[in-house]
Amino acid sequence: MSAYEALSLSRRFPAPNYVNPETRSWAASACLIAICVLTTLVFTARIWARFRITHTPGWDDWLIIASMPLLLGQTIVTVLALRVYGFQHHIYDLKPRDFITIRQVRDFPRLCQCIT
Residue 23 β-bridge partners: 89
- Domain residue ranges of the chain, discontinuous segments joined by +: 24-115
Flag whether the pTM goes above 0.85: no
Angle between helices 59-83 and 27-48 (to 10 degrees): 160
Mean pLDDT computed over every residue of the chain: 83
H-type alpha helices, 12-97 = 27-48, 59-83
**Higher-confidence position of 105 and 37:** 37
Asked whether residue 35 carries a pLDDT value surpassing 90, the answer given is yes
Asked whether residue 43 carries a pLDDT value surpassing 90, the answer given is yes
**Higher-confidence position of 17 and 57:** 57
Express each pLDDT in 64-94 by its tens digit. 999 999 889 889 988 988 888 878 888 778 8
Asked whether residue 25 carries a pLDDT value surpassing 70, the answer given is yes
**8 A C-beta contact, residue 80 and residue 52:** no
